[in-house]
């Protein structure tokens, strides 16, 4: 009986356990609830992915209302794949969180962190699973509002300003999205994604639909951290508590990429995107992101900010993959969504360990950490290899597909720029490694011990995943290819 309700359980388990945390008001029970719910969600996502890889997409009707009228949850391969990423990262982060959170959030507010985490988590899962454009907006708001609170829990006073700036820009993004949805509704009279897709070809030439697509693109672009509207991202990532940054960097922007894919390829179709030359616009923005943001990352003095700029650059790779509008390109984009989630979560978790011990995230303060925190820094090096795209790591797999996709289109310039940006990644990554390994610890600095085992184990599970999925690519590539094929087939 329960198996038929898995799609809705995926969302409501964390959603309904959030108020429980509010009632407990204690750190330990709240953490336990969050941990159990994250792992339960992960199990559900794994089962769902298994079901859709072998069978048909799953549809779930909320309130027993038939599809175009009621809200429909729809799980296809793409959705299940992103669900697996989000819930997997959530599960690992919850194992990791207690040690880092205790050092960064005042004790009497920790239960609030877990409440907000569960709301964000369920909002992100809901955005992925829903088959309704307006319902997507509702979940977008649930996840965004709780994200702002999580960022403002940061210790530095600038966390408030960062959260407020994100609130303003995020609200603009969500409003643009809902305006776009309004225009779509005006022309088609429906909000169900599949139903809009059916009715859209009849009106696709109108200016209303053109404006709708513009609003949707800018709105989702703001949430996604698309270059040039990524300005909220570096500060939000820098001043949020480290665990929050690790969770958001690996999930929130990735779910926004997913929303973009849904709107472009499920609601609209390839012809429409080509007709409005959005593919060329996105390609240009993606290229600008990977080159300029990697270059900006080189000049940062704060590791968190460096990784934040690197995130904007990495999102550029996904956008480039999507902009090719070919199966290989889309598969590369989807693959990079998953792989970048794995590597960025691992890197930010390393930073959380470092901050726990040296109370700083300045690169110069990291001198000598290679000796005093060998396991943590080794994890940083391996995850960094993955970020650069060295063979045997996940980063290599997605970049390989991305470059294959650009060569398929004989787009040599794009392939060259991708390689050039990877070289820039080597530069900014090496900058940190050099100081951590080859510069002795400052004289008179207090001795530093290795991070606690409770944080190292989840960190190394994630680093292991970076390497495991870099060698055993069956699951990720099968899913990404199946997702890309189903996206390209949708539409007339």
Partner 1 sequence: MSRHSILRVVAKFMIPFIILFGLYVQFHGDFGPGGGFQAGVIIAAGFVLYGLIFGIENARKVVPAWATRVLLAFGVLLYGGTGVASFFLGGNFLGYNVLANDPVAGQHLGILLVEAGVGITVAATMMTLFFVFAGQDHE
Task: Name the residues that contact partner 1, by CB under 8 A.
Answer: 5, 8, 12, 15-16, 18-20, 22-23, 60-64
Q: How far is the CB of 118 from partner 1 (least distance, A)?
A: 12
CB atoms within 10 A of CB 379: 24
CB atoms within 10 A of CB 300: 21
Q: How far is the CB of 13 from partner 1 (least distance, A)?
A: 10
Which residue's CB is nearer to partner 1, number 23 or number 413? 23
Strand boundaries in 312-359, DSSP class E = none
Burial of 59: CB neighbours in 10 Å, binned 0-12, 13-18, 19+: middle
Q: How far is the CB of 43 from partner 1 (least distance, A)?
A: 18
Which residue's CB is nearer to partner 1, number 2 or number 446? 2
Task: Compute the chain's Rg from CA coordinates.
Answer: 21
Which residue's CB is nearer to partner 1, number 12 or number 457? 12
Cα–Cα distance measured from residue 374 to residue 350, given in angstroms and rounded to the nearest whole number: 11
Which residue's CB is nearer to partner 1, number 14 or number 286? 14
Cα–Cα distance measured from residue 262 to residue 142, given in angstroms and rounded to the nearest whole number: 19
Strand boundaries in 212-305, DSSP class E = none
Which residue's CB is nearer to partner 1, number 112 or number 226? 112
Cα–Cα distance measured from residue 123 to residue 223, given in angstroms and rounded to the nearest whole number: 14
Helix (H) or strand (E) holding 478: helix 474-489
Q: How far is the CB of 14 from partner 1 (least distance, A)?
A: 11
Q: How far is the CB of 42 from partner 1 (least distance, A)?
A: 20
* Residues with Cβ within 8 Å of residue 267, at least 6 apart in sequence: 133, 184, 193, 196, 197, 200
Q: How far is the CB of 196 from partner 1 (least distance, A)?
A: 22
Cα–Cα distance measured from residue 224 to residue 378, given in angstroms and rounded to the nearest whole number: 30
- Closest Cα partner for 84 from 128, 37, 19, 26? 128
Percent helix, strand, coil in the chain, to 5, is 80, 5, 15
* β-strand pairing of 58-61 with 72-75: antiparallel
Q: How far is the CB of 111 from partner 1 (least distance, A)?
A: 11
Which residue's CB is nearer to partner 1, number 5 or number 359? 5
Which residue's CB is nearer to partner 1, number 33 or number 331? 33
Q: How far is the CB of 119 from partner 1 (least distance, A)?
A: 10
| 369: helix, strand or coil | helix
Which residue's CB is nearer to partner 1, number 64 or number 474? 64
Which residue's CB is nearer to partner 1, number 65 or number 412? 65
Q: How far is the CB of 125 from partner 1 (least distance, A)?
A: 14
Q: How far is the CB of 388 from partner 1 (least distance, A)?
A: 44
Which residue's CB is nearer to partner 1, number 8 or number 179? 8
Which residue's CB is nearer to partner 1, number 60 or number 348? 60
Q: How far is the CB of 181 from partner 1 (least distance, A)?
A: 21
Would you give the DSSP letter of residue 447? P
Cα–Cα distance measured from residue 382 to residue 384, given in angstroms and rounded to the nearest whole number: 5
| 434: helix, strand or coil | helix
Burial of 404: CB neighbours in 10 Å, binned 0-12, 13-18, 19+: middle
Helix (H) or strand (E) holding 59: strand 58-61
């Amino acid at each position: 009986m329960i198996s038929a309700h898995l799609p809705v359980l995926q969302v409501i388990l964390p959603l309904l356990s959030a108020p429980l945390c509010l009632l407990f008001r204690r750190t330990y029970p709240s953490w336990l609830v969050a941990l159990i719910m994250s792992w339960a969600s992960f199990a559900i996502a794994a089962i769902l992915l298994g079901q859709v890889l072998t069978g048909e997409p799953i549809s779930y009707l909320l309130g027993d209302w038939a599809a175009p009228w009621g809200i429909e949850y729809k799980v296809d391969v793409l959705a299940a794949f992103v669900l697996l990423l989000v819930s997997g990262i959530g599960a690992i982060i919850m194992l990791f969180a207690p040690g880092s959170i205790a050092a960064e959030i005042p004790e009497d507010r920790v239960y609030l962190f877990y409440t907000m985490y569960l709301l964000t988590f369920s909002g992100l899962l809901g955005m992925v699973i829903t088959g309704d454009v307006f319902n997507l907006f509702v979940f977008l708001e649930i996840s965004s509002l709780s994200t702002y609170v999580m960022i403002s829990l940061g210790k530095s006073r600038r966390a408030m300003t960062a959260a407020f700036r994100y609130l303003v820009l995020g609200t603009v993004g969500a409003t643009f999205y809902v305006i776009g949805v309004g225009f779509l509704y005006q022309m088609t009279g429906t909000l169900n994604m599949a139903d809009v897709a059916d009715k859209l070809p009849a009106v696709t030439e109108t200016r209303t639909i053109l404006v709708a697509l513009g609003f949707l693109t800018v709105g989702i672009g703001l949430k996604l951290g698309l270059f040039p509207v990524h300005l909220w991202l570096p500060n939000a990532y820098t001043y949020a508590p480290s665990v929050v940054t690790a969770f958001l960097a690996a999930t929130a922007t990735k779910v926004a990429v997913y929303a973009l894919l849904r709107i472009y390829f499920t609601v609209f179709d390839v012809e429409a995107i080509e007709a409005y030359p959005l593919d060329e616009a996105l390609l240009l923005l993606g290229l600008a992101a990977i080159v300029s943001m990697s270059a900006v990352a080189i000049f940062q003095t704060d590791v968190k900010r460096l990784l934040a700029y690197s995130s904007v650059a990495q999102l550029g790779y996904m956008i480039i993959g999507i902009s090719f509008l070919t199966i290989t390109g889309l598969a590369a984009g989807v693959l990079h969504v998953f792989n970048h989630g794995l590597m960025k979560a691992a890197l930010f978790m390393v930073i959380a360990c470092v901050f726990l011990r040296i109370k700083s995230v300045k690169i110069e303060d990291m001198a000598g950490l290679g000796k005093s925190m060998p396991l943590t820094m080794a994890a940083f090096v391996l995850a960094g290899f993955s970020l650069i795209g060295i063979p045997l790591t996940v980063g290599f797999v997605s970049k390989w597909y991305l470059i294959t996709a650009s060569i398929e289109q004989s787009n040599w310039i794009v392939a060259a720029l991708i390689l050039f940006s990877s070289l820039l990644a080597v530069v900014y990554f090496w900058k940190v490694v050099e100081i951590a390994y080859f510069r002795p610890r400052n004289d008179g600095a207090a001795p530093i011990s290795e991070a606690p085992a409770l944080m190292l184990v989840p960190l190394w599970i994630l680093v292991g995943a970076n390497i495991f999925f870099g060698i055993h690519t069956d699951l990720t590539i099968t899913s990404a290819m199946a997702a890309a094929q189903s996206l390209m087939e949708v539409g007339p």
